[in-house]
Structure 1
Amino acid sequence: MKKLVIFLGVSPFLAVAANAQSSVTLYGIVTGNVTYSNNVQTAATANGGRPKGGAQIAQFDSGTSGLASSRWGLKGTEDLGGGLKAIFQLENGFSVNNGAIGQGGTEFGRHAWVGFNANRYGTLTLGRQGDTSVEFVSALIYGWYWGNLAIHPADYDNLNFTHRINNSIKYLSDSFNGFRFGGLYSLGGVAGNVTQNQFWSTGVSYTGGSFAIAASIINARNPNTSLYGTNANASATGNNLGSAGSATTPESNPIIAGFASAHTQQTVSVASTYTAGGAIFGVAYSSTQFRGLGSNGPLNTFNYSGSTTLSTVGASLRYQATPFLRLGASFDYTEGGSVGSKDGAKYEQVNLGAGYSLSKATELYVTGAYQHASGTDSLGRPAVAAIGYLTPSTTDKQVAVSAGVKHLF
């Protein structure tokens, strides 16, 4: 009886001690902005001519075209002793203008993973998460001011984290004298074919003083499913890369939509930055190959075969003008996507951005982009400008400006 009384007396303190070893953090970003574009399509044409439309548009969105998309999430950690911790992250994307769930209606579409951190031995996680190009390269390219208007055309290299990887196992090392490395593998889950729909990536980075550099390789088998088809509303048999549009709907991702039948997509990316005072200078390069076009017959609308490559080279300057004001500019040049005798498309884009901090949590911002296109796109049509996630233009030029407020919690 005495032992029972003692146990009951100290058990609340034991519970407090146990709870002190674990924590859960609620966090998020709420962004609202107005975006203006000088030219958007209203419908596509079937004869290879210019699409219909061309109207100006101003619209309110939830950061899709702004500095950052709205989200909320939970991060948790539990100390297991001996330097080992259990960790997890759940993150939901949403629209602040109508409350809709992002990532195609996937509840925790941005992150959903659990794993372990072992201090100097690194981190192992399992679930829905970003590939190594997002972990190592993206931060050096987009930084703190770019916004979603500045992504590479159609985000074909996934450096803006448009697509998450399902069913994945990821390892990230701790930093060793400035060096970090990691890898990810996603199981395809197809009976009798281990490599069908599989995805793997690997990356490395180095940071030393004012200099930083990172590189990554990602490889997706049947990318229409393993990379572009990972959201809840993705088509099981249709084209998840984009659309040629119709007499009543505009094109979607004409830069890559025609390559949905590829057997494999492989992307190599590298970026580097140098910091001098309040300025950060950056350069970047990415190259994506769509290999084995025509492997998925039903999606090979244009009877493509062989392979095609898209590559982007870019340069940027970011500047902290005052403790409250930051500015940035970048230029990207993309070319490729040629199939057969036709020259592929070329895209030249200039990006500008500025942010003014009202507090540690609240910032006003404005971003802008201009893109010029030429050549023939993946749909076999004269290339049209297509900035960020906006509806493509009817011509080879498009201008977009986004202004809004971002609040962290």
Structure 2
Amino acid sequence: MKSLAPVVIMAASTLPYAAHAQSSVTLYGVIDEGINYNSNSGGHPSYAMQSGVAQGNRFGLRGTEGLGAGWRSIFVLENGFDVSNGKLAQGGLLFGRQAYAGVSNPFLTVTVGRQYDIQADFIGPFAASRQWAGNIGAHPGDIDNFINTVRTNNSIKVVSASVGGLIVGGMYSLGGVAGDPTRNQSWSVGATYANGPFSAGAGYLNVRDPNVSYFGNATSGNASATIANSPYPVYSGYLSAHSFQVASAGLTYKLGRATASMVYSNATFIGLGDLSAGPNPHGYTGSVHFNTAEASLSFLIDPQVLLGAAFAYTAGSGVSGTDGHSGARYKSGSIGAQYFLSKRTSVYVLGVYQAASGVDSLNQSARASINNQPSASTSDRQAVIRIAMSHKF
């Protein structure tokens, strides 16, 4: 028996390594930094460093482990940060971009934690902002969340594998309010289909008490219903809504080196005047909706040079109240050029112009409000030009 001991010990010592061989942890990230010119930032032209535009700055850990019979455990912990000053993004949250764990098999993936909603997951990629225009090319205030400005906490997400090009998914977020299971809850569903050069998708998002449970998620503190948890005058005056919903659809067709895309969204704030959800200084009641349509075209001149152009139109409806008004309109145009120095590093130029009209949610003449800028314009016009570099690792 003693003669077998060394053999047994050697065999046992290989077991942890065999298990480890079926698992992996990957460090990944994006660093994006550049200079912006803004024609009207709070009333003045400005030049400023800004990071995380073409893609949000991040570093993350992605892990997977084989469990047998086709099952795997997975996790993602993803941090956001500002290259210009080194600060944490997403309101100071350590893993503010994503933090989830789950399991997958050849048929579906189930994850729980802080995640992107299904509507944004499935329809966002059809928008120019997710292809080449960056977050400054997003729709006003990213009202449809196509660039994932808002993450969803306490969520359970289920996504199917592709079957004949079709993928479906759903997500539910628990509100966590004792005695009222629907308060602060959200849910979303979506589907995409791809066949050769053609792809299309549709999605839907529904959120209760959105000022706190949705727009208030980008903070390390507790969101309050006494303030509007969004800086965008496009809709910050409507955050007394009892619920918020987005219905969207998109399609893309690739022809050679050209890619043409169209996307549509309808975002609606429902049940205005709920002071338990958010402030209502203008006495709004009823509902208000925003219809957004976008068309874009990109062209790969050669493997190193990409050009893009897009136009989007957002129309807000009227709303009832003591200071009721007829809504606002936003017209936005984007152009861009990207040069790939390598598979992981590129330099790019972006230009975005926006014109506003009508009356916005703050019951004032609508002001241009290009996404992700320090301040909205003090007039109905605003332009941003950016020169930057992006590196992936």
State the TM-score, normalized to the length of structure 2: 0.96
- The one-character-per-residue Cα deviations of 1:345-404 (angstroms, maximum 9, x if unpaired) are 000000011110011111001111000000000000000000011111010000101111
Deviates more, 1:196-205 or 1:332-341: 332-341
Picking from 122, 136, 141, the partner of 2:122 is: 136
Amino acid at match of 1:61: Q
Tell whether 2:112 aligns with 1:94: no
Amino acid at match of 1:317: L
Counting only pairs closer than 5 Å after superposition, residues 298-317 of structure 1 correspond to structure 2 as 299-317=279-297
In the alignment, which residue of structure 1 is the partner of 2:345?
362
Distance (Å, rounded) in 1 between the aligned partners of 2:317 and 2:94: 34
In the alignment, which residue of structure 1 is the partner of 2:225?
237
* 1:337–1:256 Cα change, 3 Å: farther
Tell whether 2:255 aligns with 1:276: yes
Distance (Å, rounded) in 2 between the aligned partners of 1:348 and 1:264: 26
Picking from 99, 123, 127, the partner of 1:112 is: 99
Tell whether 2:360 aligns with 1:377: yes
In the alignment, which residue of structure 2 is the partner of 1:185?
172
Distance (Å, rounded) in 2 between the aligned partners of 1:369 and 1:303: 34
2:87 alignment partner, SS class = coil
In the alignment, which residue of structure 1 is the partner of 2:313?
333
Amino acid at match of 2:34: N
In the alignment, which residue of structure 2 is the partner of 1:246?
none
Tell whether 2:384 aligns with 1:405: no
Q: Is the 8 A contact 1:337 1:377 kept in 2?
A: no
Q: Is the 8 A contact 2:210 2:239 kept in 1?
A: yes
1:293 to partner: Cα distance: 0.2
1:138 to partner: Cα distance: 0.7
1:308 to partner: Cα distance: 0.5
1:269 to partner: Cα distance: 0.7
Amino acid at match of 2:384: A
Tell whether 2:39 aligns with 1:57: no
- The one-character-per-residue Cα deviations of 1:252-310 (angstroms, maximum 9, x if unpaired) are 30001101100000100101011000001111110011000001256111111110101
Counting only pairs closer than 5 Å after superposition, residues 280-291 of structure 1 correspond to structure 2 as 280-291=259-270
1:342 to partner: Cα distance: 1.7
* 1:4–1:336 Cα change, 3 Å: same
In the alignment, which residue of structure 2 is the partner of 1:245?
none
Deviates more, 1:2-11 or 1:272-281: 2-11
Distance (Å, rounded) in 1 between the aligned partners of 2:147 and 2:391: 20
1:229 alignment partner, SS class = helix
Q: Which runs of 5+ in 1 are unaligned?
A: 42-53, 243-251
Q: Which runs of 5+ in 2 are unaligned?
A: none
Tell whether 2:337 aligns with 1:349: no
Amino acid at match of 1:228: F
Q: Is the 8 A contact 1:91 1:112 kept in 2?
A: yes
Amino acid at match of 2:336: G
State the TM-score, normalized to the length of structure 1: 0.92
User: Higher relative CO (CA 8 A, sep ≥ 6), structure 1 or 2?
Assistant: 1
Tell whether 2:18 aligns with 1:10: no
Q: Is the 8 A contact 1:241 1:253 kept in 2?
A: no
1:98 to partner: Cα distance: 1.2
Counting only pairs closer than 5 Å after superposition, residues 196-211 of structure 1 correspond to structure 2 as 196-211=183-198
1:338 alignment partner, SS class = coil
Amino acid at match of 2:45: Q
Distance (Å, rounded) in 2 between the aligned partners of 1:234 and 1:319: 45
Amino acid at match of 2:80: G
Q: Is the 8 A contact 1:337 1:378 kept in 2?
A: no
1:197 alignment partner, SS class = coil
Counting only pairs closer than 5 Å after superposition, residues 14-163 of structure 1 correspond to structure 2 as 14-41=15-42, 54-63=43-52, 66-119=53-106, 121-142=107-128, 143-163=130-150
**CA RMSD of the aligned region, Å?**
1.2
Deviates more, 1:232-241 or 1:104-113: 232-241
In the alignment, which residue of structure 1 is the partner of 2:369?
386
Q: Is the 8 A contact 2:212 2:229 kept in 1?
A: no
Distance (Å, rounded) in 1 between the aligned partners of 2:273 and 2:371: 27
Amino acid at match of 2:65: E
Distance (Å, rounded) in 1 between the aligned partners of 2:89 and 2:223: 16
Q: Is the 8 A contact 1:104 1:234 kept in 2?
A: no
How many pairs align? 385
Q: Is the 8 A contact 2:313 2:330 kept in 1?
A: yes
Deviates more, 1:13-22 or 1:397-406: 13-22
1:144 alignment partner, SS class = helix
Amino acid at match of 2:215: Y
